[in-house]
Amino acid sequence: MQLIERAFHHEREQLRQCGLKITTQRLIILKELMNHADHPTVHMIHEAVKKELPAVSVDTVYRTLLSFSEAGLCTVLDGMGEARRFDPKRTVHHHFICNNCGKIVDFACTEFDNLQLPSVFKKGFTVENKSVRLSGLCPDCNK
């Protein structure tokens, strides 16, 4: 267990800061999520995790990723007509989604960060996240 504790120091600290119990499964799932820059699906994470934990189920990975989302370790991207994707990037950013190949590209834009809320949202609403999602064709699909 000490080897695992040393190998996953960064992941352990992230789980601890979010108040989540530290388990081997969570450490490995978090490590795999953080190693993906392509907004992975549950199945992508599951395939990577089962190399280290052959008995882990898709459901366990899914529930763990949802708990990470609730704790603020990642964001769930859904509503794109495809499987849910998980974004481990916690800094403010926006997304471009290719309508053809499904590629998701992160981008930063100060103007989007500073968008003013419509007046309808200023009374009684609590906005916890502002992000812009653009869609179209990526350069590869545009050819």
CATH code, domain with 71: 1.10.10.10
pLDDT digits (tens, 9 = 90+) for 40-74: 999 999 999 999 999 999 999 999 999 999 898 89
Number of domains making up the chain: 2
Task: Read off the CATH number of the domain in which 119 is found.
Answer: 3.30.1490.190
Looking at 24, 47, 77, which one is the last position of a domain? 77
Is residue 9 assigned to a domain?
yes
Given this model, what pLDDT does residue 1 score? 44
Q: Is 17 helix (H, G, I), strand (E, B) or coil?
A: helix
Q: Which of 55, 37, 38 is nearest to 46 (CA)?
A: 55
* pTM of structure: 0.81
Looking at 55, 77, 99, which one is the last position of a domain? 77
Is residue 83 assigned to a domain?
no
Looking at 77, 101, 130, which one is the last position of a domain? 77
Kindly indicate the confidence band of residue 134, based on its pLDDT and cuts at 50, 70 and 90. very high
Q: What does pLDDT average to over the chain?
A: 87
Do 49 and 100 fall into the same domain? Answer: no
Give the CA dihedral 32, 84, 43, 26, nearest 10 degrees: 40
Q: Tell me the β-bridge partners of 106.
A: 95
Is residue 61 assigned to a domain?
yes
Backbone angles phi, psi at 36, to 5 degrees: -100, 125
